[in-house]
Structure 1
């Protein structure tokens, strides 16, 4: 069991991370910001939290959000026009959050994947189980020179409390990104516990907001965790800072 102190602390996590590398702030192309006005409201909130750079990562899911580099670029340009018009100076770039579904390997072989940093590619899986061809996908990513980064492993139901099923990813040099709100219990107690376990095990490479809407923003603005977790989060060697 985890020793969680009763005392709670609040702080602006953006001041620590500086770069948000997982967000859904581009307008109208997935289940994130529905329009430019919502995008600007979310961006205003992230700036107020201390973020200095934003990387949008819209979903690419073949049967739900079949985005392409072209649709994502168009949404980014629509947003950038408004940012420029209103005098925003915060850098906003984009990559994508790829679902490891049946359409992913064809995309990989076509060689048109959206990444950030040093060819880092953000990927996600279905919540209930691992892709049957996971080892082949990870092998192909490495063969093509990509650095896989698994989004929010704490939220997947197949991840056990001993984190043993994550060894399939680590054995292929996959990095892990946790959602900030997982540490507050926003997604549930189980997700919070797995996030704590990942933190204790030193397995967290990045922390992202995964912000989709105003409710996420409100909870991020009131980011509160125990004193113990606050100290651990403050001392973590985030790779977010490498993306400045």
Structure 2
């Protein structure tokens, strides 16, 4: 039962049992945790927020982070061994955040994708422009029986419009949307925050993730608070994320 009589409603009070499906805690393979010590710091901070299950999603970006399913599993195994040695209890499942580029199409062709769950694959786009063959990529994912989960749709400024018609088009092509909790607290700027809330209001957001790269991201979320009307938009998506990705 939620108590809405307080002036501030802190996010951390509603994260018990939440599963973070987008983060960069695996050590040394992208722009997230630089090493295992940084990974442990992030994980302990997650646990302090009541989050004890993570789906790790390192970047797979051919020009910058050419990770493979093998390198991701290796980093995951290394981290799991360290956590076991330190007696830190947390569940971490390896997956990935794939840049939709030609290299991704090659992986798709080889069916070498690490999914969030079952056939759900987390993808992203450049912040400067969408792939010129975006519709082709989405069609191929659908044809191969994958469900596309688009990471942080609110951060693609070229999709921002009064009508949100570009987002509607993506939804009609079978895209599920994962919004960053950091967007809701203005971490990426007011424009991203406003679009994030509009997408919530329109019922377009399916899942929430932290997209944590650094300790300061979790520190910001640990103090985040919302108005009652905003929390009422956020809580159903938190619950849906917990329900869909329970493992």
Q: TM-score, with normalisation over the residues of structure 2? A: 0.92
Partners of 1:120 and 1:141 lie apart in 2 by 10
| Inter-CA distance 220–240: structure 2 relative to 1 (3 Å threshold) | same
Cross-structure match for 2:11: 11
Verify the 8 A CA contact 2:19 2:241 in the aligned structure 1.
no
Q: Which residue of 1 aligns with 2:178?
A: 177
Asked if the contact 1:54/1:93 (under 8 Å) is kept, the reply is yes
- Aligned: 1:221 with 2:222: yes
Look up the match of 2:72: 72
Following superposition, the deviation at residue 157 of structure 1 comes to: 1.1
Q: CA deviation at 1:16?
A: 5.5
Q: Compute the RMSD of aligned alpha carbons.
A: 1.5
Write the distance in 2 (CA, Å) between the matches of 1:190 and 1:118. 33
Evaluate the alpha carbon distance shift between residue 14 and residue 69 of structure 1 in structure 2; reply closer, same or farther with a 3 A threshold. Answer: farther
**Aligned mates of 1:67, 1:35 — CA distance in 2:** 16
1:146, CA displacement in angstroms?
Answer: 0.6
TM-score, normalised by the number of residues in structure 1: 0.93
Equivalent residue pairs, number: 238
Query: C-alpha distance in 2, partners of 1:8/1:84?
Result: 38
Report Cα offsets for 1:156-204 as digits up to 9, x if no partner. 1112233211233212111000000111111100000010001101111
* Moved segments of 4+, more than 3 Å: none
CA offsets per residue over residues 43-99 of structure 1, 9 Å max, x none? 111111111310100000000000001111111111011111111222111100000
Q: 1:208 to 1:94 in 2, by over 3 A?
A: same
- Distance in 2, Cα, partners of 1:33 & 1:99: 19
User: Per-residue deviation at 1:243?
Assistant: 1.4
Instruction: Verify the 8 A CA contact 1:16 1:234 in the aligned structure 2.
Output: no
Q: Which secondary structure state, in structure 2, belongs to the residue aligned with residue 12 of structure 1?
A: helix
2:241 aligns with: 239
2:24, 2:105 → 1: CA distance? Answer: 23
CA distance in 2, matches of 1:232, 1:13: 15
Q: Distance in 2 between the 1:66 and 1:179 partners?
A: 24
Residues 99-178 of structure 1 correspond to what in structure 2 (within 5 A)? Answer: 99-161=99-161, 162-178=163-179
- Please list the CA deviations of residues 81-135 of structure 1 after superposition, one character each: whole Å capped at 9, or x if unmatched: 1111111222111100000112211111011111022210000001122111111
**Alignment match, 2:30:** 30
Corresponding residue of 2:197: 196
- 1:223 Cα offset (Å): 1.6
The answer for unaligned runs of 5 or more in structure 1 is 1-6
Which ranges in structure 2 are unaligned for 5 or more consecutive residues?
Answer: 1-6
Q: Which residue of structure 2 lines up, in the alignment, with residue 210 of structure 1?
A: 211
CA–CA separation in structure 1 for the residues paired with 2:236 and 2:169 = 27
